[in-house]
Structure 1
Amino acid sequence: MKQHFSVLGIFLFFLFLFLFSCQRDMKKRGAPTSSSKAITKPVAPQTHEPKQKSSVPKILPNSPAPSREMDYKKSLASRGAPLHRARLSKRRARHMDLSRPMADLSEDKGNSLGTGKNEMKPKGPKVWKAKHIQEGAAQVKVGMGKFLQLRSIRVAVKIEGLRVRTMVDHVFYNPFSRRLQGDFKYQLPEQASIAYFAFYSNLHNNREVKIGDSTITLPDLDSKKLYQEPLEKILEKEKTPFGSPKVAKVVPKQKALKAYEEVVRRNIDPGLVEWAGGNAFTTRIFPLNPHSFSRVVLVYDQTLPFIEDMCRYTFHWPKNEKVDIQFTLVSHPQFEGKLNLHGVKVERAPGLLAYRLHKIRKEIKEDLVDYRYPPGKQEVIAGKDQQIQYYYGRLHPNLENIKDGKGASHAIFLLDTSFSQDGQAFELSMALMKKILESNPEIQKFNLLFFHIGSRFWNPKGWVENNPTNRNKLFTELKEVLLEGATDFESAFMALAKTPWIAGEAKNVDIFLLTDGQPTWGDTDLLRIGRKFQKALTYKANIFSYNFGLGNFNPDLSRLIQSLGGSIFNCYGPSQLEKVAKAHK
């Protein structure tokens, strides 16, 4: 018996020593213990329960933990960080939208991306601009967050009525001490398509170049030749120190990847341009020799938007203040308009009007080129390509006498709350949604479907009466939504098709899709998603979508809406909200 007590005593002694050492370690780390005077009570999870019961539920921002969501937003606000641009935690970052352009790379020295912070405010009708789509933003990424430095650009613009051809000639510098391959990415304007792409990699110079150095300053373009001859011919005849170009072809993604891997093994550039979705194009360029220059030439065509009886052309300057810029715009005198740039040289000749500018970026006050001109009485152009005659025209029918029809009595709004919806796009979606509900009294009931990597209804129980009380509650709570996650279209459309209470009360539903139309999660084939949706439908769905301002045109989304028998409407400014809100009828 004594032996058992002695063993038990030894065991209790060592147990006491172990607990004592653990308590001491916890005190060193500042953790509270049960014996501490300052006892920290466990924090119960907070909930967002309304003070009064309501048939309309509180909006849950796209997260399973609303209390953490609100605390996260408050902490961001206290630091002065914009909610939709804030750095996400690891949990949130797992689902961030990877389709977005690289964020604010211009902070790195020598990099160039996007427009300046203070966008030009020209006189005339106010036009929205999609800020998250940075037209003209060129970058060459070489891995691990490293980019080549943009040293100069040469821009040539040729206006032919409603169609415009733009050449952007870039010179990049590789500051690294080894040969690299890079990913060149360019964001095209709305309704633009690539016409020519070339890569030059033969200029070597083992010293840091200075701005204005003759070895990288491209020759000025002759205005008359620029207007009369194709840009491709001018580039072929032009003498520069960059050697022969590798001219690219536009091919599908898988074919581009296969060809690239096969050709790079032979240590040459394959010259392939890959469509990256939306208006973005990308290509891998190789080789990028150490401490040397590379030249990338991009030519694209576009149909200009018709805004307030004027055609509008825009081009965004790079943000890097040290970039050498050459700009030339040529057109026929009948298309003379208003150019916002100061200090330009104007050239006039029979049948020719030209504007010239050659400055360092920091000497240019404007953040973008803005040229507005009348399209002419007849918007028709003609030309030959490979001995084939082509015609292109645009009509503006007068639809003022068409009376409004009658929409459905039930409506559902599909609201994209993914990370790709920047603050401006989300605010425009809310403004249009509010105007639709207020301007269409025939909408008796509605609901809202949020979607990012998943989807959920604002009121999961069913329809909500369209009255001022419910509308005010909705838009008050929408201000608390945090934009995060990727974009899953399949989840949203399947929720629309398979939710039983939708068809239980309504056989005809107007569906308003508010999104940029860039799927980045789940099935990304929008046409396949549309076929699945139609097959699963048990009611009549009228699909409507919208393009806000300039730079939001998405050909994939357009094809999806057309395949579903729906319509897409353009809304270029706040003055058009009233008309656009009724355009679906």
Structure 2
Amino acid sequence: MNKILNICALMIFSAVFSQIPILEIENQKKHPVILQEAKIDTKILGNLATTTATYTFYNLSSRILEGKLTFPLPEGVSVSGYALDINGKLRNAVPVPKERAKEVFESVERRNVDPGIIEKVEGNNFRTRIYPIPQNGSRTVQITYHQELKNLASDYQYFLSFVNATTIPKFSLNVSIHENTSVPKILENPDGNFTFQKQGNQWIAEIHKDNFTPHESFKITIPKTNQSANVLFQKASDNKSYFATSIAMNFPVKEKPKSQKIAIIWDNSFSGSKRNRDKELDFLNAYFADNKDVLVSFVLLNNTLEKTEEFTITSGNWSQLKSKILNVKYDGGTDFGALKEIPNVEEYLLFSDGISNFGDLSIKFKKSLNSISSTPTSDFNTLKLLSSQSGGNFINLNELNTDSALKTYKKLPVKFLGFKENPVIQDIFPTVGSAVNEPVNIFGISSSNLGKLTAVFSVGNDHYEVPVDFNVGSQVENWQIAQFWAQRKINELELNSTQNRNEIKNISEQFGVVSKNTSLIVLEDINDYVRYKIDPPQELQAEYQKIVSQNKGRILEQRRNLLSKAFDKTKELKTWWKTEFKPSEEKKYPKISNQSARDTTDNRRLEEVVVVGALGIKRNEVSSSNKMVGSEAKPKGKITLVDVESKEEYMKDFQNLQSAEVIYQKYLENRSKYEKQVSYYFDISKLLFKKGDKALSLKVLSTLAELDLENEELYKTIYYLLKQRGHYDKELWITQKILEWRPFDSQSHRDYALALVDNKRPQEALNVYKSLLYQEFTDEISMRDNGIEEILIMEINNILRQNKNVDGSKIDDRLKADLPVDIRVVINWNKDNTDIDLWVTDPRGEDCSYGHKSTQIGGRLSNDFTQGFGPEQFLLKKAVKGKYKIKTNFFGERQNMLSGPTTVMAEVYLYYSDGRQERKIAVFQSQKENKRESDSKILIGEFEF
């Protein structure tokens, strides 16, 4: 693979999607990539706008790179178009189910071909992955999105943020405003000379600059027309049309009654530090100026809900509460599953980004909850759901000033009640009964003869009517009203995304709108569209159909399951287990020449760790458990694991600190210097656990979930440590999320099944294993994971052996085998495209490793995984007396700036599947960047018999 590293491009946003991407690259000096050209085109009609941003990135280095851009979009806005340059020409993407797009992308990428995808990740955030960015070459990506402009008193406002923009070699901006007689007003001007000129029925402004640094962002206001409702039509099929109508609502504002006792839920997870605290404090200042006497219950939310504190606000003086907020420490992940009702509260204010990365929302508040967002990376839908379910208001401080935000909080919501005449309109959005803001844009599908209708709204118990004349609507050809409609429908459906999963997927695929369930993909080779059964863009349709007809139904994509290989592997394992191994006289065995066998025990301590068996056997119970059937015929075994100590420079600051609380305070004090360094959280969490503070250790560990969105490598690191420390409920949740993101990885299914076993749900685990054996994988992924069936067979039969009440009737008899062993070791790692080797040295000095997979005493090593996430397994049926050393070797590690060094989990078993099963787990990270010529093995544990 020529893939060297991932580029994380962090988009900086202010209120609306920032138009200038800022690239953060590991080792910027060594691998510089610049934004060579930015071209932005925006067209506006009424309060609807479509923006297309085209970026060209140039790789100044001599290495091929993979690119990743992650960016938020405003509330209610999604990506509706994506293109990538293929052979010098932009090729449009096509919609594909999200997990399928990722599977195809990674399969094609392994062949060094040019794919690109854009997907929606947590919140309203979007990510595009591009491969490759050639050495001393460029790649171009184009992103299109539709948005409804925000309403001011007499104007609509459009804003492009150029915050933090650096000099761009080539820059162009074109803005056209259609069907408006009044000149737009420019409030912020990128170069000071940007002006609108009238051309026919349009206002047009444009600039083209070389080596341009934007002077400021671009903000304009567009005067409203005098009409109470405008209607636009786009033709659909069957004599139907998509329509959009913008309706002004000049209704009296009605305020809700004031509350005497409120609760403020303050999200102080690590990501909370990224919220706009000044805007939040300004809002609270306005709130307490208006609600001068109120009792406040204040509670912090991170990976737990912390103890409530009470504050009495008198005459608007909230200085003590403000001081508390100003001194809040931000740390930990976010678990909305920890939310609960607070007694005697009349109303809630929730300050959060709405992204729950350590648990699922499980509560529907009975009292009114007002959710407040101040960061553009928020999960707007979750925050709106919390508010709408409870009768509260959603307040978006990204788009509202303090006065407007307070008015939004105070007012009774305006609800849309449909059309008085009740015409035949399909899929109208917003849905009837929904709370709406002014102006309201109503989208739907209808016949072309609706005539004059009356839209009905309510404020409290009062009803209001607004006439809408569909007879004077305009047919538009170059405006994607259908995509606006689809975007609105998806937004409504995503309020309950799990329940509406299939419908979201269908709408997204039909209209090419990116959602939680659907991504857009670009492939280079027409044969890949055919092979993976992906309908290509229009320009490739003719060639695609020709190839399909020539193949005459022949399946090009060879998808394989694990079943037939599993049958063969079961036979092989049975034969191995029945073999009687008779080693020759004891002797020393030669080492493989290109591996260094230096003793690593000088900087690593052998340490007893918590022991957890599948039967719940703990360390102090081992002596009695060894008296179980068959134990008298075998030597007693003992596992000792190694504490692989961190060599990071920051650990010197902690070496003389004794208490967990002091260590935690030092961790917070130093964190700004290591904010994006994964090993920092890993090492401090480990240190706090050793000091006995499980709660603080878990909080620091959960912070890893806040460093990136939907990053399976970070989540696997969290999963390993949760398993090691016995946090089985969270282990299950984390592995379920990874499986949701990566159902095409066999290891994702296996991890989830093992978590089910830890949670004493063996029947469900067995069902997962069974479905995994029947699931089909692409050729590339099948090759990558070749040999995993040996590990699965051992684990399936272990469930059957350890749990007599499990129904194994649906497991094929050809997969069943009684295979108890004295020693079993399995290593797993958290990174794709990584080669880590397992080595076990027996008391006779013989190594079992990738180059020598079977030993004279019967040691057996599974297939060598040189890509993917592992696993690799060592088995020994009958241990001979003496000491066994377990080592790993980082043979081909892929570094990633976001997920840090590779994390390895070793599952170490004594007496696996024979009724005395004992398990210990080691979790550690590589300590340096390894190169093939300087590989060294890390001692991670020992067996002693």
CA distance in 2, matches of 1:416, 1:548: 12
Retained in 2: the 8 A contact 1:140–1:183?
no
Retained in 2: the 8 A contact 1:201–1:293?
no
Aligned position for 1:351: 201
Aligned position for 2:41: 156
User: 1:553: Cα distance to partner?
Assistant: 7.4
Aligned position for 2:50: 165
2:172 is the counterpart of 1:326? yes
CA distance in 1, matches of 2:145, 2:157: 16
Aligned position for 1:510: 347
Aligned position for 1:287: 132
Aligned position for 1:573: 401
CA distance in 2, matches of 1:140, 1:385: 41
Q: Helix, strand or coil: the match of 1:192?
A: coil
Aligned position for 1:29: none
Aligned position for 2:221: 372
CA distance in 1, matches of 2:236, 2:63: 43
Map residues 350-499 of structure 1 onto 2, 5 A cutoff: 350-360=200-210, 362=212, 364-365=214-215, 367-378=216-227, 380-384=230-234, 387=237, 389-400=241-252, 402=254, 404-422=255-273, 425-440=276-291, 444-459=294-309, 463-468=310-315, 471-491=318-338, 493=339, 496-497=340-341
AA aligned to 2:263 is I
Retained in 2: the 8 A contact 1:166–1:300?
yes
CA distance in 2, matches of 1:325, 1:294: 16
Q: Helix, strand or coil: the match of 1:533?
A: coil
CA distance in 1, matches of 2:313, 2:379: 31
Root-mean-square deviation (CA), in Å?
Answer: 3.3
AA aligned to 1:138 is P
2:86 is the counterpart of 1:260? no
Instruction: Spell out, residue by residue over 1:484-505, the C-alpha distance to the aligned partner (whole angstroms, 9 max, x if none).
Output: 43333222x1xx23xxxx43xx
TM-score (norm 2): 0.38
2:447 is the counterpart of 1:562? no
Aligned position for 1:5: none
User: 1:201: Cα distance to partner?
Assistant: 4.5
How has the CA–CA distance of structure 1 residues 138 and 464 changed in structure 2, closer, same or farther, with 3 Å as cutoff? closer
Q: Which has the higher contact order (CA 8 A, sep 6+)?
A: 1
CA distance in 1, matches of 2:145, 2:295: 46
Q: Helix, strand or coil: the match of 2:158?
A: strand
Instruction: Spell out, residue by residue over 1:212-241, the C-alpha distance to the aligned partner (whole angstroms, 9 max, x if none).
Output: xxxxxxxxxxxxxxxxxxxxxxxxxxxxxx
Retained in 1: the 8 A contact 2:38–2:171?
yes
Identical aligned pairs, as a percentage? 21
Aligned position for 1:278: 123
AA aligned to 1:511 is Y
Q: Helix, strand or coil: the match of 1:455?
A: coil
Unaligned runs of 5+ in 2: 1-6, 414-945
How has the CA–CA distance of structure 1 residues 336 and 276 changed in structure 2, closer, same or farther, with 3 Å as cutoff? farther
Aligned position for 1:542: 368
How has the CA–CA distance of structure 1 residues 408 and 152 changed in structure 2, closer, same or farther, with 3 Å as cutoff? same
Retained in 1: the 8 A contact 2:304–2:335?
yes
Instruction: Spell out, residue by residue over 1:272-330, the C-alpha distance to the aligned partner (whole angstroms, 9 max, x if none).
Output: 21102333211211222211111111111111111232211111236121331111111
How has the CA–CA distance of structure 1 residues 553 and 162 changed in structure 2, closer, same or farther, with 3 Å as cutoff? farther
Retained in 2: the 8 A contact 1:174–1:292?
yes
Instruction: Spell out, residue by residue over 1:383-426, the C-alpha distance to the aligned partner (whole angstroms, 9 max, x if none).
Output: 32655522212333234353x34244321111122333357622
Retained in 1: the 8 A contact 2:231–2:243?
yes
Map residues 137-148 of structure 1 onto 2, 5 A cutoff: 137-138=20-21, 148=33
Q: Helix, strand or coil: the match of 1:421?
A: helix
Retained in 2: the 8 A contact 1:196–1:300?
yes
How has the CA–CA distance of structure 1 residues 470 and 306 changed in structure 2, closer, same or farther, with 3 Å as cutoff? closer
CA distance in 2, matches of 1:487, 1:549: 15
Q: Helix, strand or coil: the match of 1:562?
A: helix
How has the CA–CA distance of structure 1 residues 351 and 438 changed in structure 2, closer, same or farther, with 3 Å as cutoff? closer
Aligned position for 1:37: none
CA distance in 1, matches of 2:140, 2:371: 40
CA distance in 2, matches of 1:336, 1:550: 30
Aligned position for 2:184: 337
AA aligned to 1:575 is D
Instruction: Spell out, residue by residue over 1:166-218, the C-alpha distance to the aligned partner (whole angstroms, 9 max, x if none).
Output: 1111111012213232213333244322121001143xxxxxxxxxxxxxxxx
Instruction: Spell out, residue by residue over 1:532-569, the C-alpha distance to the aligned partner (whole angstroms, 9 max, x if none).
Output: 213xx7xx321112345988672332234334443313
Instruction: Spell out, residue by residue over 1:352-394, the C-alpha distance to the aligned partner (whole angstroms, 9 max, x if none).
Output: 22111011354542x2111111132345342326555222123
CA distance in 2, matches of 1:407, 1:546: 18
Between stretches 385-394 and 173-182, larger displacement belongs to 385-394
How has the CA–CA distance of structure 1 residues 180 and 152 changed in structure 2, closer, same or farther, with 3 Å as cutoff? same
AA aligned to 1:261 is E
CA distance in 2, matches of 1:362, 1:509: 54
How has the CA–CA distance of structure 1 residues 301 and 580 changed in structure 2, closer, same or farther, with 3 Å as cutoff? closer
CA distance in 2, matches of 1:260, 1:370: 38
Q: Helix, strand or coil: the match of 1:517?
A: coil
Retained in 2: the 8 A contact 1:435–1:577?
no
Retained in 2: the 8 A contact 1:185–1:281?
yes
CA distance in 2, matches of 1:102, 1:440: 44
CA distance in 2, matches of 1:201, 1:265: 18
How has the CA–CA distance of structure 1 residues 334 and 280 changed in structure 2, closer, same or farther, with 3 Å as cutoff? farther
CA distance in 2, matches of 1:288, 1:423: 30
CA distance in 1, matches of 2:154, 2:185: 14
How has the CA–CA distance of structure 1 residues 264 and 137 changed in structure 2, closer, same or farther, with 3 Å as cutoff? same
Instruction: Spell out, residue by residue over 1:245-279, the C-alpha distance to the aligned partner (whole angstroms, 9 max, x if none).
Output: 34224555433322212232343334421102333
Aligned position for 1:183: 68
CA distance in 1, matches of 2:208, 2:197: 14
Matched residues, number: 395
Aligned position for 1:119: none
TM-score (norm 1): 0.60
2:80 pairs, out of 195, 209, 212, with 195
AA aligned to 2:76 is Q
Q: Helix, strand or coil: the match of 2:140?
A: strand
CA distance in 2, matches of 1:346, 1:355: 4
CA distance in 2, matches of 1:359, 1:371: 20
Aligned position for 1:90: none
CA distance in 1, matches of 2:378, 2:136: 38
AA aligned to 2:39 is R
CA distance in 1, matches of 2:23, 2:123: 19
Q: Helix, strand or coil: the match of 1:373?
A: strand
How has the CA–CA distance of structure 1 residues 310 and 418 changed in structure 2, closer, same or farther, with 3 Å as cutoff? farther
Aligned position for 1:533: 363
Retained in 2: the 8 A contact 1:251–1:272?
no
Retained in 1: the 8 A contact 2:118–2:128?
yes
Aligned position for 1:210: none
How has the CA–CA distance of structure 1 residues 374 and 261 changed in structure 2, closer, same or farther, with 3 Å as cutoff? same
How has the CA–CA distance of structure 1 residues 312 and 250 changed in structure 2, closer, same or farther, with 3 Å as cutoff? farther
User: 1:136: Cα distance to partner?
Assistant: 2.5
CA distance in 2, matches of 1:375, 1:150: 37
Q: Helix, strand or coil: the match of 1:356?
A: strand
Retained in 2: the 8 A contact 1:411–1:445?
yes
CA distance in 2, matches of 1:401, 1:280: 33
